[in-house]
A and B are shown apart, each in its own frame.
Chain A
Amino acid sequence: MTFHTLVGRPLVLMVTATGLAACQPALIYGERTSFNLAAVQVNDNVSEPVRINFGLLRSVATAAPPRGGMAGERPAMPVDPKSDKKTDGTANGEAVSVFSNFHLEDSGAGSSLPLVSDELTIRTRFASGEAAISVADKPRAVRAILGVGTVGPVSPEVRARQKKLVDCVRKIVDPKQLEVIAKELGVESTDNPQADNFEIRNRIGEKRPPELDRLESILKITCV
Protein backbone atom coordinates (compact mmCIF):
# COMPACT_ATOMS: atom_id res chain seq x y z
CA MET A 1 0.00 0.00 0.00
CA THR A 2 1.23 3.51 -0.65
CA PHE A 3 0.45 6.93 0.61
CA HIS A 4 -1.86 9.02 -1.45
CA THR A 5 -0.47 12.52 -1.40
CA LEU A 6 -2.59 15.47 -2.28
CA VAL A 7 -0.15 18.25 -1.69
CA GLY A 8 -0.46 19.72 -5.17
CA ARG A 9 -4.25 19.82 -5.48
CA PRO A 10 -5.25 22.67 -3.16
CA LEU A 11 -2.71 24.91 -4.87
CA VAL A 12 -3.96 23.94 -8.31
CA LEU A 13 -7.56 24.60 -7.33
CA MET A 14 -6.58 27.87 -5.73
CA VAL A 15 -4.69 29.03 -8.79
CA THR A 16 -7.76 28.22 -10.91
CA ALA A 17 -10.10 30.03 -8.55
CA THR A 18 -7.73 32.98 -8.37
CA GLY A 19 -7.76 33.21 -12.12
CA LEU A 20 -11.53 33.19 -12.25
CA ALA A 21 -11.78 35.81 -9.54
CA ALA A 22 -9.07 37.98 -11.01
CA CYS A 23 -11.49 40.76 -11.88
CA GLN A 24 -12.09 41.74 -8.26
CA PRO A 25 -10.26 41.36 -4.97
CA ALA A 26 -11.36 38.25 -3.17
CA LEU A 27 -10.17 36.07 -0.37
CA ILE A 28 -9.63 32.54 -1.54
CA TYR A 29 -9.12 29.84 1.02
CA GLY A 30 -8.56 26.20 0.30
CA GLU A 31 -7.93 23.35 2.64
CA ARG A 32 -7.40 19.67 2.18
CA THR A 33 -6.81 17.20 4.93
CA SER A 34 -5.99 13.60 4.34
CA PHE A 35 -5.29 10.84 6.73
CA ASN A 36 -3.83 7.55 5.69
CA LEU A 37 -3.05 4.37 7.48
CA ALA A 38 -1.00 1.69 5.77
CA ALA A 39 0.01 -1.71 6.99
CA VAL A 40 3.49 -2.33 5.69
CA GLN A 41 4.30 -5.63 7.22
CA VAL A 42 2.01 -8.44 8.22
CA ASN A 43 3.37 -11.88 8.87
CA ASP A 44 2.24 -15.12 10.36
CA ASN A 45 4.17 -14.65 13.58
CA VAL A 46 1.47 -13.58 16.01
CA SER A 47 4.04 -12.56 18.60
CA GLU A 48 5.27 -9.79 16.33
CA PRO A 49 3.07 -6.74 16.07
CA VAL A 50 1.85 -5.46 12.74
CA ARG A 51 4.02 -2.63 11.55
CA ILE A 52 2.12 0.31 10.26
CA ASN A 53 2.73 3.74 8.93
CA PHE A 54 0.28 6.53 9.38
CA GLY A 55 0.31 10.02 8.11
CA LEU A 56 -1.66 13.21 8.33
CA LEU A 57 -1.26 15.60 5.49
CA ARG A 58 -2.90 18.96 5.59
CA SER A 59 -2.56 21.57 2.92
CA VAL A 60 -3.84 25.05 3.32
CA ALA A 61 -3.70 27.66 0.65
CA THR A 62 -4.84 31.19 1.12
CA ALA A 63 -4.77 34.10 -1.23
CA ALA A 64 -5.79 37.28 0.50
CA PRO A 65 -5.83 40.65 -1.21
CA PRO A 66 -3.73 43.29 0.48
CA ARG A 67 -5.68 45.32 2.97
CA GLY A 68 -4.56 48.51 1.27
CA GLY A 69 -6.16 47.32 -1.93
CA MET A 70 -4.89 45.52 -5.01
CA ALA A 71 -2.09 47.09 -7.00
CA GLY A 72 -3.49 49.76 -9.29
CA GLU A 73 -6.69 50.03 -7.25
CA ARG A 74 -5.34 51.62 -4.10
CA PRO A 75 -6.34 55.21 -3.53
CA ALA A 76 -3.53 57.62 -2.79
CA MET A 77 -2.79 57.67 0.89
CA PRO A 78 -3.71 60.91 2.61
CA VAL A 79 -0.73 62.87 3.88
CA ASP A 80 -0.59 64.54 7.24
CA PRO A 81 0.23 68.18 6.42
CA LYS A 82 2.05 68.63 9.74
CA SER A 83 4.45 65.78 9.33
CA ASP A 84 4.29 65.11 5.62
CA LYS A 85 3.80 61.46 6.55
CA LYS A 86 1.17 59.22 5.09
CA THR A 87 -1.63 58.79 7.62
CA ASP A 88 -3.08 55.45 6.59
CA GLY A 89 -1.67 53.07 9.18
CA THR A 90 -1.92 50.09 6.86
CA ALA A 91 1.17 49.14 4.97
CA ASN A 92 0.78 48.55 1.25
CA GLY A 93 0.54 44.88 0.54
CA GLU A 94 -0.28 43.86 4.12
CA ALA A 95 -2.94 41.17 4.03
CA VAL A 96 -4.80 40.72 7.29
CA SER A 97 -8.10 39.25 6.15
CA VAL A 98 -7.95 35.77 7.54
CA PHE A 99 -7.38 34.11 10.89
CA SER A 100 -7.18 30.39 11.23
CA ASN A 101 -7.03 27.90 14.03
CA PHE A 102 -6.44 24.19 13.62
CA HIS A 103 -6.92 21.63 16.34
CA LEU A 104 -6.25 17.91 16.11
CA GLU A 105 -7.41 15.69 18.92
CA ASP A 106 -7.14 11.98 19.38
CA SER A 107 -9.48 11.03 22.17
CA GLY A 108 -9.89 7.29 21.64
CA ALA A 109 -10.08 5.77 25.05
CA GLY A 110 -7.90 2.77 25.58
CA SER A 111 -5.92 3.19 22.41
CA SER A 112 -2.18 2.99 22.87
CA LEU A 113 -1.45 3.90 19.29
CA PRO A 114 -1.63 7.52 18.18
CA LEU A 115 -4.21 8.50 15.60
CA VAL A 116 -5.60 5.02 15.10
CA SER A 117 -8.64 5.21 17.34
CA ASP A 118 -12.16 5.95 16.15
CA GLU A 119 -12.22 9.21 18.09
CA LEU A 120 -10.06 11.38 15.88
CA THR A 121 -11.33 14.94 15.72
CA ILE A 122 -10.02 17.64 13.46
CA ARG A 123 -11.51 21.03 14.12
CA THR A 124 -10.66 24.03 11.99
CA ARG A 125 -11.91 27.54 12.44
CA PHE A 126 -11.22 30.61 10.44
CA ALA A 127 -12.55 34.09 10.12
CA SER A 128 -12.26 35.85 6.83
CA GLY A 129 -13.46 38.86 4.92
CA GLU A 130 -15.37 41.50 6.83
CA ALA A 131 -15.34 39.40 9.99
CA ALA A 132 -11.58 39.22 10.01
CA ILE A 133 -11.07 42.82 8.91
CA SER A 134 -13.30 44.11 11.68
CA VAL A 135 -11.29 42.35 14.39
CA ALA A 136 -7.85 42.47 12.79
CA ASP A 137 -6.59 45.11 15.21
CA LYS A 138 -8.37 43.73 18.22
CA PRO A 139 -6.34 40.85 19.66
CA ARG A 140 -8.90 40.15 22.36
CA ALA A 141 -11.66 39.74 19.80
CA VAL A 142 -9.49 37.44 17.71
CA ARG A 143 -8.81 35.36 20.76
CA ALA A 144 -12.52 35.35 21.56
CA ILE A 145 -13.30 34.03 18.08
CA LEU A 146 -10.55 31.51 17.80
CA GLY A 147 -8.84 31.09 21.10
CA VAL A 148 -11.36 30.35 23.83
CA GLY A 149 -9.88 27.38 25.61
CA THR A 150 -12.10 24.37 26.08
CA VAL A 151 -11.77 21.08 27.88
CA GLY A 152 -12.33 17.97 25.84
CA PRO A 153 -12.03 14.20 25.94
CA VAL A 154 -8.45 13.02 26.30
CA SER A 155 -6.77 9.67 26.63
CA PRO A 156 -6.34 8.22 30.11
CA GLU A 157 -2.63 8.92 29.87
CA VAL A 158 -3.12 12.60 29.15
CA ARG A 159 -5.76 12.86 31.85
CA ALA A 160 -3.33 11.34 34.35
CA ARG A 161 -0.73 13.96 33.40
CA GLN A 162 -3.23 16.78 33.77
CA LYS A 163 -4.32 15.51 37.17
CA LYS A 164 -0.76 15.18 38.38
CA LEU A 165 -0.04 18.77 37.40
CA VAL A 166 -3.24 19.98 39.06
CA ASP A 167 -2.41 18.14 42.27
CA CYS A 168 1.04 19.71 42.21
CA VAL A 169 -0.23 23.24 41.61
CA ARG A 170 -2.83 22.85 44.33
CA LYS A 171 -0.04 22.72 46.91
CA ILE A 172 1.77 25.83 45.67
CA VAL A 173 1.30 28.92 47.83
CA ASP A 174 4.28 31.01 46.71
CA PRO A 175 2.87 33.89 44.62
CA LYS A 176 6.05 34.19 42.58
CA GLN A 177 5.95 30.56 41.59
CA LEU A 178 2.29 30.87 40.69
CA GLU A 179 3.11 33.91 38.60
CA VAL A 180 5.60 31.92 36.53
CA ILE A 181 3.06 29.21 35.85
CA ALA A 182 0.30 31.74 35.20
CA LYS A 183 2.45 33.48 32.63
CA GLU A 184 3.11 30.19 30.87
CA LEU A 185 -0.62 29.56 30.68
CA GLY A 186 -1.52 33.09 29.63
CA VAL A 187 -3.36 33.72 32.89
CA GLU A 188 -3.29 37.22 34.29
CA SER A 189 -2.09 37.18 37.90
CA THR A 190 -3.97 39.03 40.62
CA ASP A 191 -3.12 39.92 44.20
CA ASN A 192 -5.00 36.85 45.40
CA PRO A 193 -2.78 33.75 45.22
CA GLN A 194 -5.69 31.45 46.06
CA ALA A 195 -7.68 32.78 43.13
CA ASP A 196 -4.65 32.53 40.84
CA ASN A 197 -4.04 28.96 41.95
CA PHE A 198 -7.64 28.08 41.18
CA GLU A 199 -7.55 29.63 37.72
CA ILE A 200 -4.25 27.93 36.92
CA ARG A 201 -5.73 24.56 37.81
CA ASN A 202 -8.70 25.41 35.62
CA ARG A 203 -6.50 26.15 32.62
CA ILE A 204 -4.44 23.00 32.99
CA GLY A 205 -7.55 21.02 32.09
CA GLU A 206 -7.46 22.60 28.62
CA LYS A 207 -3.89 21.59 27.90
CA ARG A 208 -2.59 18.70 25.83
CA PRO A 209 0.89 17.55 24.93
CA PRO A 210 3.20 19.37 24.13
CA GLU A 211 1.85 22.12 26.37
CA LEU A 212 1.80 19.59 29.20
CA ASP A 213 5.45 18.82 28.44
CA ARG A 214 6.32 22.45 29.02
CA LEU A 215 4.34 22.67 32.25
CA GLU A 216 5.91 19.48 33.55
CA SER A 217 9.31 20.91 32.77
CA ILE A 218 8.52 24.08 34.72
CA LEU A 219 7.12 22.19 37.67
CA LYS A 220 9.48 19.23 37.77
CA ILE A 221 11.44 20.55 40.72
CA THR A 222 8.32 21.42 42.68
CA CYS A 223 6.56 18.17 41.97
CA VAL A 224 9.36 15.65 42.41
Chain B
Amino acid sequence: MPNITAIRFIEDDLDLARITELVQAGEEDLGPLLAISACEHFPPRRLTCFTHEDKETPAGVLELRLCSGGAVPKVPGKTLLCIGRCFVAGSKQTVAAFR
Protein backbone atom coordinates (compact mmCIF):
# COMPACT_ATOMS: atom_id res chain seq x y z
CA MET B 1 0.00 0.00 0.00
CA PRO B 2 1.44 3.42 -0.89
CA ASN B 3 2.62 5.52 2.03
CA ILE B 4 2.84 9.21 2.72
CA THR B 5 5.88 10.87 1.16
CA ALA B 6 7.83 14.01 1.91
CA ILE B 7 10.44 15.95 -0.02
CA ARG B 8 13.73 17.25 1.27
CA PHE B 9 15.49 19.98 -0.67
CA ILE B 10 19.25 20.16 -0.97
CA GLU B 11 21.27 23.04 -2.40
CA ASP B 12 23.13 22.67 -5.67
CA ASP B 13 26.68 23.23 -4.46
CA LEU B 14 27.36 20.10 -2.43
CA ASP B 15 29.59 17.24 -3.49
CA LEU B 16 28.28 13.70 -3.79
CA ALA B 17 29.70 12.61 -0.44
CA ARG B 18 27.88 15.40 1.40
CA ILE B 19 24.68 14.72 -0.50
CA THR B 20 24.94 11.05 0.42
CA GLU B 21 25.28 11.91 4.11
CA LEU B 22 22.20 14.09 3.95
CA VAL B 23 20.14 11.47 2.17
CA GLN B 24 21.23 8.86 4.70
CA ALA B 25 20.14 11.24 7.47
CA GLY B 26 16.84 11.63 5.66
CA GLU B 27 16.36 7.90 5.71
CA GLU B 28 17.02 7.88 9.46
CA ASP B 29 14.51 10.66 10.10
CA LEU B 30 11.80 9.81 7.61
CA GLY B 31 12.12 6.56 5.74
CA PRO B 32 13.54 5.03 2.59
CA LEU B 33 14.45 7.12 -0.42
CA LEU B 34 11.90 6.87 -3.18
CA ALA B 35 13.00 9.34 -5.84
CA ILE B 36 15.63 11.87 -6.84
CA SER B 37 14.86 14.85 -9.03
CA ALA B 38 16.31 18.22 -9.90
CA CYS B 39 14.07 21.10 -8.87
CA GLU B 40 14.28 24.37 -10.76
CA HIS B 41 10.89 25.69 -9.76
CA PHE B 42 12.31 28.36 -7.49
CA PRO B 43 14.65 30.37 -9.72
CA PRO B 44 17.32 31.46 -9.33
CA ARG B 45 17.78 28.67 -6.82
CA ARG B 46 18.63 25.23 -8.12
CA LEU B 47 17.72 22.47 -5.72
CA THR B 48 17.62 18.71 -5.72
CA CYS B 49 14.53 17.03 -4.33
CA PHE B 50 14.81 13.76 -2.49
CA THR B 51 11.49 12.06 -1.86
CA HIS B 52 11.25 9.82 1.17
CA GLU B 53 8.49 7.41 2.06
CA ASP B 54 7.00 7.10 5.54
CA LYS B 55 7.89 3.54 6.40
CA GLU B 56 10.69 1.63 8.04
CA THR B 57 13.94 1.87 6.15
CA PRO B 58 15.23 -1.50 5.02
CA ALA B 59 18.60 -2.72 6.27
CA GLY B 60 21.64 -1.67 4.31
CA VAL B 61 23.46 1.59 3.78
CA LEU B 62 22.36 3.82 0.94
CA GLU B 63 24.97 4.90 -1.61
CA LEU B 64 24.79 7.43 -4.42
CA ARG B 65 26.77 7.06 -7.62
CA LEU B 66 27.19 9.27 -10.65
CA CYS B 67 25.96 7.87 -13.92
CA SER B 68 28.67 9.04 -16.29
CA GLY B 69 27.48 9.25 -19.85
CA GLY B 70 24.06 8.10 -18.70
CA ALA B 71 25.29 4.60 -17.91
CA VAL B 72 24.17 3.24 -14.55
CA PRO B 73 27.16 1.73 -12.75
CA LYS B 74 27.05 -1.72 -11.23
CA VAL B 75 27.67 -1.80 -7.50
CA PRO B 76 28.50 -5.26 -6.16
CA GLY B 77 26.20 -6.38 -3.38
CA LYS B 78 23.82 -3.45 -3.83
CA THR B 79 20.42 -3.09 -5.45
CA LEU B 80 19.46 -0.13 -7.60
CA LEU B 81 16.74 1.93 -5.92
CA CYS B 82 16.16 4.90 -8.20
CA ILE B 83 17.80 7.18 -10.73
CA GLY B 84 17.32 10.88 -11.10
CA ARG B 85 18.80 14.22 -11.98
CA CYS B 86 20.73 15.83 -9.18
CA PHE B 87 22.83 18.97 -8.75
CA VAL B 88 26.31 17.86 -7.71
CA ALA B 89 28.92 20.52 -7.01
CA GLY B 90 26.96 23.00 -9.08
CA SER B 91 26.33 20.90 -12.17
CA LYS B 92 23.32 18.83 -13.06
CA GLN B 93 24.18 15.14 -13.19
CA THR B 94 22.39 11.83 -13.35
CA VAL B 95 22.70 10.01 -10.05
CA ALA B 96 21.69 6.50 -9.04
CA ALA B 97 20.88 5.37 -5.51
CA PHE B 98 21.76 1.90 -4.31
CA ARG B 99 21.20 -0.10 -1.17
Contacts and interface: CB of A to CB of B under 8 A. Distances in A.
Interface of A: 123, 125, 144-145, 148-153, 159, 162-163, 166, 192, 194-195, 198-199, 201-202, 204-205
Interface stretch (B24-32, B63-71, B76-84, B91-99): B24-32
A201 B26 CA distance: 9
Interface of B: 4, 6-11, 14, 18, 21-22, 25-26, 28-30, 41-42, 45, 47, 52, 54
A69 B6 CA distance: 44
Contact of B45 (A148, A153, A192, A204): A148
Contacts of B9: 148-151
Given A153-B21, A166-B29, A145 B42 contact: yes
Contacts of B22: 151-153
A205 B25 contact: yes
A148 B42 contact: yes
Contact of A151 (B4, B10, B41, B45): B10
A163 B28 contact: yes
A215 B45 CA distance: 28
